[in-house]
Amino acid sequence: MRAGIGYDAHRLAPGIPLVLGGVAVSHDQGLVGHSDADVLTHAVIDALLGAAALGDMGTYFPPSNPHYGGISSLELLAQTRDILSRNGWKVVNVDATIVAERPRLAPYTGHMCEALARTLHVDLRQINVKAKTTDGMGFVGTGEGMEAYAVAMVESLLNP
């Protein structure tokens, strides 16, 4: 078994839907990015790829590629799941934290876990998502953006 860590951050701007963990979240701002800018799913992707020593999100889904413009990050996560499988890895678990001053995310975290588990083809008990604030400190605290951290464990499907 191997573990990996992932991180992502994006700016907030008005007039953009907010998507976290593949779930539409009611808010007056959304995250700015090449895809849907889902910081949670991006952190999970990087944690999984890191655990398998397969590079990072930019290796497979570069922002320079117009194909990924506006794409659902759950689609990128599904492709990541397939990359892991082709390289002999399966997901053991994911634990992630979204850092955002607002909106209140606790009512959404269960839905995020469900969407991530469904996309990764794992049991819901293998996924955990938490939400935290910075008590007004830094770019997250001032409402400029959001960030997410994820830790993932993968297990080799190959015989030792």
pLDDT at 106: 96
pTM over 0.95: yes
Token pair in block for residue 118: 């469904």
Percent of the chain with pLDDT over 70: 99
Percent of the chain with pLDDT over 90: 97
Evaluate if residue 160 carries a pLDDT over 90: no
Q: Is the pLDDT of residue 14 over 90?
A: yes
Kindly report, residue by residue over 27-37, the tens digit of the pLDDT: 999 999 989 99
Question: Are 134 and 94 a contacting pair, CB within 8 Å?
Answer: no
49-99 pLDDT, tens per residue? 999 999 999 999 999 999 999 999 999 999 999 999 999 999 999 999 999
Which structural domain, as residue segments, surrounds residue 118?
2-156
> Does position 158 have pLDDT exceeding 90, yes or no?
no
pLDDT tens by residue, 18-27: 999 999 999 9
CATH of the domain at 44: 3.30.1330.50
Instruction: Transcribe 74-133 into DSSP letters.
Output: HHHHHHHHHHHHHTTEEEEEEEEEEE-SSS--HHHHHHHHHHHHHHHT--GGGEEEEEE-
Rounded-to-integer distance, Cα 36 and Cα 57, Å: 14
Tell me what percent of the chain is helix, strand and coil, each rounded to the nearest 5.
Answer: 35, 30, 35
Reduced to 3 states (helix: H, G, I; strand: E, B; else coil), residue 6 is strand
Domain count along the chain: 1
Peptide linkage before 103 cis (omega within 30 of 0) = yes
Rounded to the nearest 10°, the torsion over CA 154, 126, 152, 101 is 170
